[in-house]
Structure 1
Amino acid sequence: MSFDGMFTHVMVNELNQNLSGGRISKIQQPFANELILTIRSNRKNRQLLLSAHPSYARVQITDQPFANPAKPSTFVMSLRKYITSAIVKDFHQLNNDRVVMVDLSAKNELGDIHDYTLIIEIMARHSNIFLINKENGRIIDLIKRVSPENNSFRGLLPGDDYKLPPAQNKINPFSTKDENLSNLSASDIRKKYEGIGLDTSAELEKFIANGKTFDDFINLYQNNLHPNTANSQSKHKLGFFPIAFSNTTTEVKSYATLSELLDNFYLDKARVDRIEQQTKNITRRLDIILKKDKSKVKKLHKQLDKTDVMNKYNLYGELLTTYMSKIQHGSSSITLTNYYNNEDVTIKLNPEYSPSLNAQSYYKKYRKLQNSIPHIKQQLELTTNEINYLDSVLASLEYVDIEDVDGIVDELIQSGYIKKKKKNARRKRKKKVGENFQTTNGIEITVGKNNLENDQLTMKLSQKNHYWFHVKDIPGSHVILKTSTPDEESIVQAATIAAYYSKARDSSKVPVDYVQIKHIRKPNGAKPGFVIFEGQKTVLVDPDRKLVADLKE
């Protein structure tokens, strides 16, 4: 089920139950399309996430941590001017559309009370968030400004009169009388009623096929909420019915609230997208370097293949020197007997060279190729190591949390891949190295979140008799199990964490190597995170997200 009008309806109810009457204490815009309002309600601080993301637009309460950007956006400055300390009066929905309105009441500098409305339009790439002056209906500011040249239907700039999105002219299912829908297909239901998505209409079709009415469906829908995610053969779906997606579901997972459901549903999707937003310039640069390196490796292999003929050139020079008296000046070729195997060999000659110069020419080609081999192999090793290193950095961006991105950026600055931006002198907080977990038997596990942390954990901070875990031949984090006598269960759990914090996160039966740290060494001049080890054992595990979450300290 998508975030359709029906889902929006129940989400608005949840927001009213938890946030109505609360006061806005903090306003942040951690990412380009997302706004966080911290609302103090019922003696609790709750974070309201308003998202205008083209793929993940939504409204929800979130427990996910967000860092406050150093410089607030223009939109945030406008919001802080008008609605800081505002009272949240009510959440309501435009009919059954994916438009949520938040009525606010706030005092200005003179103590006069003014009414405002925050409007969140959830419309894919046209999603937007508006602050509206309720007294005159004008837009004070919005998160996505659109020039008149790109939008002829309505004004989307500060100062324009707010105009609702184009109406669909469908029936609001919550304002209809009981109807017999037994003859309507899922497609007909979507065409007739507003805000009913593909999955909701499919469930409704099955529901009324059993003799139930539309009112029965609405009553069940409103009074027996069941937030869940359902894994089907086609996709991962949202749900809120007591029994979700019958006949298509392979697994249903329930949640206490719709907001908790959305936090889990969008956990990886939103995290990866936010990291991509922060690092798109960096990844673009690394992709360019990788492309050049891979092209260079191909050329080096071709050069190495060419050295296969050097022994032939050495043989030609040797035979020409031995049989020099038989060579006539001006000849373009000669056939001589190879005394190593008594076979005839035809050798091309330069007619302008003397027999001696022809021999020396083949010796020269031989020596040139022979001398090039160490250089080619050295460049091949250096370039291959760089490819592996950059692959590990790009892979880490797929599984780290948003707060770990700064560590990866620092790593790339130290490695010389990106330049350090000039910033105002600011005291840096001392960060802990790695992320801590604990096995069910109480043994501590630490995970490196970038290659610099991997080096520190493995080569400096851990004891020689501790155990080191890493996915086999795949980029991933270094994982340290802090014991010299691990039990089998702890080994499996540490290996599961290593598989989860790797490029193989979405795979099954992932091979993970483990060995005591005393058997690990780092070659001189090696890239961050690169180590050599021997005597390892291997265990197969599944990257179990729930287990990893349960073991996190």
Structure 2
Amino acid sequence: MSFDGMFTHVMVNELNQNLRGGRIAKIQQPFANELILTVRSNRKNQQLLLSAHPSYARVQITDQPFANPAKPSTFVMSLRKYITSAIVQDFKQLNNDRIVIIDLSAKNELGDIHEYTLITEIMSRHSNIFLVNKENGKIIDLVKRVSPENNSFRGLLPGDDYKLPPAQNKINPFEQNDESLSDLTASDLRSKYEGIGLDTSAELEAFLNDGNTLSDFINLYQNNLHPNSANSNSKHKLGFFPIAFTNTTQEVKSFATLSELLDNYYLDKARVDRIEQQTKSITRRLDIILKKDKSKIKKLNKQLDQTKIMSKYNLYGELLTTYMSKVKRGSSTITLTNYYNNEDVKIKLNPEYSPSENAQHYYKKYRKLQNSIPHINEQLEITTNEVNYLESVLASLDYVDIEDVDGIVDELIDSGYIKKRRKNARKKRKKHIGEDFRSTNGIDITVGKNNLENDQLTMKLSQKNHYWFHVKDIPGSHVILKTSDPDEQSITEAATIAAYYSKARESSKVPVDYVQIRNIRKPNGAKPGFVIFEGQKTILVDPDRQMVADLKK
């Protein structure tokens, strides 16, 4: 389901239970549309995520780590000025709409208490976060500023009066429990009631058709929360739900809280989206190169197919040379007997050439094709290796974390695919190579997060008797199991990690090759991450995210 008004209603209740009365200790904006408030409440720090992302807008408590940008945004500076150390008085929802209002009280430099509201509007691409002076209703600042010519309905700049989005004039289902609704379709329910999304309306329609009432449905939301991820019965599309939608979904996994549910659901989606935002220009360039390379491979294969007829040209030259006396100058064709199989062969001739010149013409075509084969094969190998390499780089963006993007950029710079950064660019700290895990039986496992790290781990940092894992014939990370005598469980766990850090992350029964590093070598001039090996064994595993998380050091 989407983050509709019904989900917003119960999320506001969860936020009040956990954060009301807490103090804002830290304010960060790790990404353009997302704000993290660290709230000290119930003797512990909790991260409140306010997101105005066009696809993943939401409000929740999150356990995910976020890096603090070196330079704070203007919005963060405004928030730090006015609401650092503010007390969270209350979380409220506007009717049953997707608007979350946080009432705050904070002291200024003189010790005077002032009231503010932090408002998150969840409206797809129009989502926004506002800091509003509660005393005069003025916008102090907002995460997305919009000029008046692009928005005639209300001002969306600092200093404007805060005005609510256009009202929908629908009924709040939590305030009016209409009992006679069994004849309403899902579309009717969405039109009549505020904050009911597609999935909720489909479940409510089926729920009412079973003889239940809207009061019964509201009671489930009030008293029987069951945060879960589930597949739609009709589309088998994974979604998140605050209660069990027993009529329209099949549960996949349940969670202790709504925030834990959202962390799990958005973990990969938000990460991939952030990486896409940071690497748009890079992926666009690599896609262009890939398109050219794949077109080149098609042309080379076509040229290679043409070389299959070179033996025919050689035969024509031989026959014309052998039967030279039968060839008349000015003829356009001649039929000669192939003395290898006694079959007649019809040969085209150039009337302007002499018999000898026609024979040499076919010999020349034969030699040209013959000499082209090594060059075509060389170009095919070079271009195919480049395609495999670029696809491995693009695939790695599907499973690396946001902090690993710089390593991939450095790899592309070293490989000459993108230009070097300017000299005055901020120097990166030297990072630990790879990501570390430990098997259940205590054996260390390390994963390369880009092709340069893969090379370092496999060819330089690991011992010859360690074991190397990689998904079979699919782009993925190199995984090193640091032992010469692995047990069966550690092999399975290392293979599972290799499957998870690969393009096959969303698949099942993924084949993973494993072999001792002594059996691996890197050809001279090969692209980063490319190795060849022999004597490997193969194991089938499922890329289990929870297992990978449990094994992380």
**TM-score band (shorter)?**
over 0.9
After TM superposition, the structure 1 stretch with the greater mean CA deviation from structure 2, 254-263 or 385-394, is 254-263
1:441 and 1:142 mapped to 2: Cα distance?
Answer: 51
* AA matched with 2:352: E
1:245 deviation in Å? 1.4
| 1:468-520 Cα shifts (integer Å, max 9, x gaps) | 11111111111112222222222222211111111111111111111111111
Q: In structure 2, what is the equivalent of residue 185 of structure 1?
A: 184
Q: Which shows bigger deviation, 31-40 or 499-508? A: 31-40
Q: Distance in 2 between matches of 1:250 and 1:94?
A: 31
Alpha-carbon spacing, 1:251–1:109, altered in 2? closer, same or farther (3 Å): same
Cα offset, 1:209, TM superposition:
6.2
What is the TM-score of this pair, normalised by structure 1? 0.93
In structure 1, C-alpha distance between the alignment counterparts of 2:326 and 2:540, rounded to whole Å: 68
Per the normalisation by structure 2, the TM-score is 0.93
Q: Return the letter of the residue paired with 1:438.
A: R
* Range with greater deviation from structure 2 (494-503 or 130-139): 130-139
Is 1:270 matched up with 2:270? yes
Which amino acid counterpart does residue 116 of structure 2 have in structure 1? Y
2:490 aligned residue: 490
Instruction: Select between 455-464 and 436-445 the one with higher mean Cα deviation.
Output: 436-445
Q: 1:536/1:228 Cα in 2 relative to 1: closer, same or farther (>3 Å)?
A: same
> What's the offset of the Cα at 1:97?
0.9
Matching of residues 327-406 of structure 1 within 5 Å:
327-406=327-406
Deviations 1:208-236 (A, max 9, x none): 66776555544443234332222343322
Matched residue pairs, number? 550
1:186, 1:198 within 8 Å by CA — same for their partners in 2? Answer: no
Q: Secondary structure at the match of 2:397?
A: helix
Partner of 2:229: 229
Partner of 1:550: 550
After TM superposition, the structure 1 = structure 2 runs for residues 368-447 of structure 1, keeping only pairs within 5 Å, are: 368-422=368-422, 424=424, 426-447=426-447
How far did residue 388 of structure 1 move?
0.6
C-alpha distance in 1 between matches for 2:142 and 2:249: 40
Pair 363,220 (structure 1): closer, same or farther in 2 beyond 3 Å: closer
How far the C-alpha of 1:36 sits from its partner, in A, is 1.6
Deviation at 1:59, TM superposition (A): 0.4
Cα pair 1:186 1:204 within 8 Å, conserved: no
Change (3 A) 1:420 1:103: farther
**Shift, 1:171, TM fit:** 2.2
Deviation at 1:82, TM superposition (A): 3.0
CA shift, 1:358, in A, is 2.2
Please give the alpha-carbon distance, in whole angstroms, between the structure 2 residues aligned to 1:372 and 1:179: 81
2:27 alignment partner in structure 1: 27
Aligned to 2:170: 170
Q: Could you tell me which runs of 5 or more consecutive residues in structure 1 were left unpaired when the two chains were aligned.
A: none
Q: Which residue identity does 1:480 align to in structure 2?
A: I
Q: Match of 1:6, as an amino acid?
A: M
Give runs of aligned pairs for residues 432-511 of structure 1, distance below 5 A.
Answer: 432-511=432-511
Between 44-53 and 15-24, report the one with greater CA deviation: 15-24
Letter in 2 for 1:361: H
Deviates more, 1:100-109 or 1:441-450: 100-109
CA apart distance, 1:117: 1.6
Instruction: Give the secondary structure class of the aligned counterpart of 1:174.
Output: coil
Distance 2:246 2:141 in 1: 44
- Partner SS state of residue 70, structure 1: coil
Partners of 1:370 and 1:203 in 2: CA distance: 69
Identity %: 84
Q: C-alpha displacement at 1:252, in angstroms?
A: 4.4
CA distance in 2 between counterparts of 1:97 and 1:251 reads: 26
SS at match of 1:251: strand
SS in 2 for 1:391: helix
Cross-structure match for 1:54? 54
Using the TM superposition, give the Cα deviation of residue 96 of structure 1 relative to its aligned residue in structure 2, in angstroms: 1.4
The structural deviation recorded for 1:551 is 1.9
Secondary structure of the corresponding residue to residue 26 of structure 1: strand
Instruction: Look up the match of 2:117.
Output: 117
Mark the runs of 5 or more structure 2 residues left unpaired by the alignment. none
| 8 Å contact kept, 1:332–1:349 | yes
Q: Does 1:239 align with 2:238?
A: no
Instruction: Give the partner amino acid of 1:185.
Output: L
Which stretch of the first structure deviates more once superposed, 109-118 or 120-129? 109-118
**Between 355-364 and 110-119, the greater mean CA deviation after superposition:** 110-119
Asked whether the equivalents of residues 104 and 116 of structure 2 are also in contact (C-alpha less than 8 Å), the reply is: yes
Please, which moves more after superposition, 134-143 or 4-13?
Answer: 134-143
The range that moved more, 45-54 or 329-338, is 329-338
Deviates more, 1:351-360 or 1:493-502: 351-360
CA contact (8 A) 1:228 1:261 kept: yes
3-state DSSP of counterpart to 1:158: coil
**Alignment RMSD:** 2.3
Secondary structure, aligned partner of 2:174: helix
Task: Evaluate the alpha carbon distance shift between residue 181 and residue 2 of structure 1 in structure 2; reply closer, same or farther with a 3 A threshold.
Answer: farther
Aligned position for 1:135: 135
**294-303 or 152-161, which deviates more:** 152-161
**1:179 Cα deviation (Å)?**
4.6
Q: Which amino acid aligns with 2:76?
A: V
Distance 1:183 1:322 in 2: 94
Find the aligned partners of 2:171 and 2:183 in 1 and give their Cα distance. Answer: 15
Distance 2:368 2:211 in 1: 88
Give the whole-Å Cα distance in 2 for the aligned partners of 1:215 and 1:316: 90
Whole-angstrom CA distance in 1 between matches of 2:219 and 2:363: 93
* Structure 2 Cα separation of the partners of residues 175 and 380 of structure 1: 69
Distance 2:415 2:315 in 1: 46
CA–CA distance in 1 between the matches of 2:331 and 2:13? 97
- Contact kept in structure 1, 2:435 and 2:447, CA below 8 Å: yes
Asked whether the 8 Å contact 2:94–2:101 carries over to 1, the reply is yes
Q: Look up the SS of the partner of 2:398 in the other structure.
A: helix
Asked whether the equivalents of residues 182 and 211 of structure 1 are also in contact (C-alpha less than 8 Å), the reply is no
Which residue is equivalent to 1:321? Answer: 321
Q: Judging changes above 3 Å, is the alpha-carbon distance between structure 1 residues 50 and 18 closer, same or farther for their aligned structure 2 residues?
A: same
Tell me how far apart the structure 1 counterparts of residues 362 and 202 of structure 2 sit (CA, whole Å): 78
Residues 339 and 212 of structure 1: CA distance in aligned 2, closer, same or farther (over 3 Å): closer
Identify the range of structure 1 (105-114 vs 44-53) with the bigger mean alpha-carbon deviation: 105-114
Superposition pairs of residues 529-548 of structure 1, within 5 angstroms: 529-548=529-548
1:523/1:532 contact within 8 Å kept: yes
Are the aligned partners of 1:181 and 1:208 in contact in 2 as well (CA < 8 Å)? no
Aligned to 1:291: 291
Q: Matches of 1:335 and 1:211 in 2, distance apart? A: 89
Which whole-Å CA distance do the structure 1 matches of 2:74 and 2:423 have between them? Answer: 20
